[in-house]
Structure 1
Amino acid sequence: MSTDRTDDSREPRSSADPAAATAEGTLRTTPVLPRPLAGAGGEPAQQEERSAPLPLPSAREPVALPPAGPARRRAAAPALVAADLAGTAAAVLACTGPQAAPVLLAPVCASLPLLCARRGLYRPGLDQQALDELPAVGKRATLAWCVGATVLAACDRTGALGPAGLLAGVAANTALVCALRALVHGVRRRRGRRRPRSALVVGRGETARAVTAALAERPRYGLRPTALVEPGPDGGTAPGGSDGGGPCGTGGPDSEGPGTGRTEPADGAAAHPPLPVVSTPEEVAREVARHGVRDAVFLRSPWEDPHSAVLAGMLGARGVDGWLVRPGCALGAHGGHTPSGHRRPDEAHLWGFSCRRLALDCPRPRTGLRKRLLDIALVAPALLLAAPVMAGCALAVRVLDGPGVLFRQERIGQDGRPFTLLKFRSVRPADDHEAATRWSVAGDTRTSPVGRLLRRTSLDELPQLWNVLRGDMSLVGPRPERPYFVGHFSRLHPGYAQRHRTPVGITGLAQVHGLRGDTSIADRARFDNHYIETWSLWQDVRIICRTATSLFRLEGR
């Protein structure tokens, strides 16, 4: 089990607070001008400074966390679904006889949209082409017709559809669906040219100007840049910093200086009016509200930088769709490479830049009832088997350390809901405020010999089995923390608050990798979010097994 020590002293090791306010000054602009990329530069340096401690939140009040998802989402692609259904129905009716058509129609028409949705063929994209989708549609049509043939066999109508008819149906189905999809994409492109969606370009330097110019000059992509966003404490880059998307920084041949966000006009700059340059979340929020921004084009992954991560979370909460645009290998800035034959349906190019859809909100794990059923199936017998051990621990604490066997403390659970966590007492804090705001360390002199033994063997965590049975916690999940530190760490570490998308646990992926006690909070948050985004029932079983083996090695603190 985990050995998360949070009932005694000291503040944790954590990275510095990257947040810094920017005074609102005169509006900066940058010309929309494509330029060749040259040179090289490093990543922007991040200045570290430590944040002052936050006030202690009131007890039993939910801690404010980021929204669970965007306030609004663009509707699914009903036109593409209708095109697939129409093409499939026409192919079934045209390629099969009167005996097979009534039986085939329902299973084939139901299977193809489901298979296409699973492949992501209904996700919106930039400049979608039916020919790019043809191989994926053909494979799904083949599977759908195989399902239909299986239904025919089950209905004892095997002779109603021969091999030639099956091949003809698949070919006709693929051709008709792709033709109708081409019509839908063409209508969308024409609508995008007439009414392009407002978009923000997030990045700096020559790459940002090249991408902005490509969008402004080519309405086929359906995006109209309204502002250039330079995330950071002061909207500028550090000396020698990159533009976030390519190998050159803002201090290129046409810039006034590093980090200014302003450029000198050059030949052809008058073809496009300058775009406003914004940097702070408040300025970005005003641009989103003013222009009804629906898309944001990032020139680097927003999760690589704390300022960009805050910006991405804010845009995702407002229902903005994200796109990641990167130059290719020839320009020295490697984007996300996809193995040959494994191209994602939402991967395309934006005037030569690799482009794919980018999720700006944190998805919840699809645990359903499986995780809860696993908890109950394991915890109920575990409580019975551990009852004698727990009775012995309680007796030892009562006899050797005096009254007060159980340690009760406020913790933050799923979706920011507080609950009371139970442990066997191993040390006495001076008062309730110290218990809520002081970090734990190994070797505290106030820890009694029996308390050190309980910690070393992790037996002090056994009462949390009752928290799991009550539904406050799960066996596996991010370790719960106190309200004070949840607020504190959420400001210091991008992604920390997103740990609360799932039930908190007794042990977790971070703990089985040695991140217990006074260890890096940034590392823990990274492990916890990876666990959430890759959750599976088997992963929970593996973590439980690894935790059990760690108990025998006495890896507690």
Structure 2
Amino acid sequence: MIRQKRVRMYRIADSAMLMLAITTAVLASPGQTTTSDFLWGAGYALLTLLILEARGFYGLRLHQSPVDMIARVFAATSIAAMVLTFSHAIIDNEPQIAQQTLRLWVFALVFLGAGRLGITFDRARALRRGETGLNTLIVGSGSVGHLIAQRLVARPELGLRPIGFLDKEPLIDNTEERDGLPVLGASWDLQEVVQRYNVEQVIVTFSTAPHAVMLNLIRRCRELGVEVVVVPRLFEEVNNRVEVEHLGGVPLLRAATVDPKGWQFAFKYALDRIIAGLGLIAISPLLGMLALAVRLSSPGPIFYRQRRVGLDGREFDMLKFRSMRVAESSDDFVPQGGMAPGGVEGVDRRTRVGEFLRRTSLDELPQLVNVLRGEMSLVGPRPERTRFARSFEQHVYRYGDRHRVKSGLTGWAQVQGLRGQTSLADRVEWDNYYIENWSLWLDLKIALMTVPALLGRQSVE
């Protein structure tokens, strides 16, 4: 099966990169190389692989960002290095233990991380070019089932190719209507569908089938060797901090929440201001040059102030370097088809300097002043214009929830590709995901992901 072959490939590739790293580290040592050095290195490589296996590194995930992947490699190689140092000190107390282990750790981290990143990027490119992913069957053809199908079709790099639905009583009568995917049968057709379409992944959403039928279907999938994932009920309230407790044999999910009014966000906002202040000082020469370029590009002010909605629905003036020629009247652009506003709207009035600023997002740098004032954060949902925000609050599901935190220069939705005129509902979903799963690590990850996201795209707004 494709899944098993892929996991086997990952294990072989990681083993090869680790052995190459260990060999390089031992040969690069300043002293005389001994057989013992290679044995300790091989032990370190084996221990690293065991830690990766124990931490679920080889279980295929729906999506894992490069930042998360490197973090897991860092954790595994670091734990292995600590265990090796402790063991080395007990068994063979040499004076150079720390230096030898540090050398092994650095080479293992670099080689293993680079190898896995190379495989991941190559795999993602192949999937985007049309290589077939794992055949995926979706149980339940209701709104959630079709939402899952749409997400998988829109993101082929995830490696799951939806082939159809399994549902006794689908919401649609015609089996070839929505999303271009058919309803392939009911629960009792599972084995036939799995064998006929070579299904390797099943996603269980919501169905009218009884509880016992759904349980039996999941168990039957496991017997057939098919991976199963389940969309939980009340999934809007499930975050990354879910803990499983048991009351007898009944599992209870405790979803720990982050309080946007609590000390964690107070610390985040204080840190934002410190970083923004230091950042403004560091880039002040660049800001001066950009301000001069804007002034010379066309008549008008250097900064463009636009009324936006931020924390708790409060309005503020968001700053940008002016990128367009001054217009005599305000624009009357209205977003259509559930799309968020953004990008170039109406008549293109950008100056040549403005085109460069928008393309590189340098026009956003003055928003560091908004952060310093406490009106914005470095990371958070992007603020929307007042006239749009008031309308969206009335018509878009959970739109107002994104105002629980300060708006940001960059956000989780933006690094996921939801920039400019993209789906508003998707953007709101990602913004609320960020709030409900917030941590300083998530902020750091978004900041790191923003850099590659800026390299080949249009402006955030």
In terms of Rg, which structure is larger? 1
TM-score range, shorter chain: 0.3 to 0.5
- State the TM-score, normalizing by the size of structure 2: 0.45
The answer to which structure, 1 or 2, has the higher relative contact order (CA under 8 A, 6+ apart) is: 1
